[in-house]
Structure 1
Amino acid sequence: MELSNIKVPNHVAIIMDGNGRWAKKRFLPRIAGHKEGMNTVKKITIAASDLGVKVLTLYAFSTENWSRPQSEVSYLMGLPSKFFDTFVPDLIKNNVKVVVLGDVSQLPDNTRIAVRNAINDTSSCTGMILAFALNYGARQDILNAVNYLIEHHQGESVSFQELSQSLSTGILAPYNDPDLVIRTSGEQRLSNFLSYESAYSELYFTDTKWPDFTAQDLIEAFNDYSSRQRRFGGITEETE
């Protein structure tokens, strides 16, 4: 399919899976996979922006990832500094704005500072939003939103719109819900990622490990997305 004929999703969310297995296959330490995965983030961010994506959300670190070996967690916590130190100028050049989903208060000081600086440095950008899910878990995010609404509504009923606005993804409005969720490396589950927002998302799974994922792979995912009919529980003339 010609690129001009591909329907580009407004909001693309990616579960970047397979860094460790990529490294193991090459007899390298797991952190080598994470380092290469960081380079892939840079390439895919620019590719998504060039293709016209409005929001790109990347599952960078989940609330469950704290259970990994301490050495790996420490390395992952150091990645934002390395990433943003070298990539923020490119983000600004490409008019990409950085935001973060999840509870950053539990992150190490240097990680929070790197994230805060990237958010501040790109705050004037008006192009694609690059949302990093850091210390993010969908269940915890929903629980936080519910507790917030209980505190502020004092027994009154709550609308879906209010719940959506109270989630971490409220800052992505009007593109809170991903149109397309991509997971690399062959696993076929959401793993506590945007569970509420993905109720009607199209899901795309690829065996390609994240460090090997390219702009062409992204286009192929969009190609597949373009062939689908999104009905949101309704019907179209073709399905009547």
Structure 2
Amino acid sequence: MTEVKVPSDAMPAMPVPRHVAIIMDGNGRWAAARGLPRVEGHRRGVEAVRRTVRAASDIGIQIVTIFSFSAENWARPASEIGELMGLLRRFIRNDLADLHKSNVRVRIIGEREGLDPEIGRLLNDAEELTRDNDGLTLVVAFNYGARQEIVRAARRLAEQVAAGALSPSDIDTDRLARFLDAPDLPDPDLIIRTSGEQRLSNFLLWQSAYSELVFVPTYWPDFDRGTLEAAIREYQQRERRFGGLVAKTGS
């Protein structure tokens, strides 16, 4: 399977997905294929994040969620984790001003308890600085796992039941969704995974119930506007019925 490049002016005049989520996969394999250390793949991956945020804003996407660091990634070698944390620090310190200037709002999802205090402060600073921006929303899934997110939501519901504030019969899908990490955001219309792998890997399991999934062979460091537009074009050709018999219009 080869990557399809779609010029910007060739985008169909059809609805653009409101919310695109991306599993950024393939940094290490990109580096290995070039005889480079894994950290170089991660560095180039940060550049791909910058390109994608700019392209998404230009195209008219309102929300981009990126899977930056999973709860399972702590099992990686300590040296690689240190390199990833260093890249996160540099990204926030170096890129946050540009994101703020571009009217991007940064949101963080994932477990923050137990994080290094410096990392926690940086994440909070990113959210606070951009809180009032009303352009594209960039959601960073950091120390995130979808099963863990659902467990946190269930625990909060259980605490309300134990306190007598809620009856078990009051619990339904809408109420549980209110206790997820970002309940005010719409579910992703489109989830893209790079590198050719075809699985969700514990990413937005609840929110992806009716998302369209597009898997591209491109390693994340090579992801660009053309790749994004090709994925959107495939999305636009899908019929979204949400369990019904008739496709719903719009994104």
Deviation at 1:211, TM superposition (A): 0.2
Q: In the TM superposition, what are the counterparts of 1:10-21 in structure 2 within 5 Å?
A: 10-21=18-29
Among 181, 189, 192, the residue aligned to 2:191: 181
Residue 84 in structure 1 maps to residue 97 in structure 2: no
Higher helix fraction (1 or 2): 1
Cα pair 1:99 1:129 within 8 Å, conserved: yes
Partner of residue 213 from structure 2, selected from 203, 207, 210? 203
Q: Which runs of 5+ in 2 are unaligned?
A: 1-8
Q: 1:33 aligns with which of 22, 41, 44?
A: 41
- Aligned pairs for 1:219-230 (under 5 A) are 219-230=229-240
Q: Does 1:70 align with 2:78?
A: yes
Task: Report whether the alignment pairs 1:53 with 2:61.
Answer: yes
What CA deviation, in whole Å up to 9, does each residue of 1:203-234 have, x standing for no partner? Answer: 00000000000011101111110011100111
Counterpart contact for 1:98–1:119, Cα < 8 Å: yes
In the TM superposition, 1:62-141 aligns within 5 A as: 62-141=70-149
What's 1:193 paired with?
A: 203
The answer on whether the counterparts of 1:7 and 1:226 sit within 8 Å (CA) in structure 2 is: yes
Aligned identity (percent) is 46
1:43 to 51, 59, 66: 51
**Range with greater deviation from structure 2 (135-144 or 82-91):** 82-91
TM-score, normalization: structure 2?
0.89
| 1:15 counterpart letter in structure 2 | I
Return the TM-score normalized by structure 1.
0.93
Work out whether residues 212 and 235 of structure 2, in 8 Å CA contact, stay in contact via their aligned partners in 1.
yes
User: Which SS does the other structure have where 1:84 is aligned?
Assistant: helix
How far is the alpha carbon of 1:171 from its aligned partner? 4.0
Distance 1:100-1:209 versus aligned 2 partners, 3 A rule: same
Q: Which string of whole-angstrom CA distances, capped at 9 and with x for unpartnered residues, describes residues 28-78 of structure 1?
A: 111110011011111101111121111110000111000000000111122
Query: Unpaired segments of 5 or more residues in structure 1?
Result: none
Deviations along 1:167-223, one digit per CA (max 9) or x if unpaired, are: 113142xx1x11000000000000000001101100000000000000111011111
Moved over 3 A (4+): none
What is the SS of the residue equivalent to 1:142?
helix
- Write the distance in 2 (CA, Å) between the matches of 1:6 and 1:210: 26
Q: CA deviation at 1:4?
A: 5.3
- Contact 1:77–1:107, Cα closer than 8 Å, also in 2: no
SS at match of 1:104: coil
How many matched pairs?
235
**Alignment match, 2:176:** 163
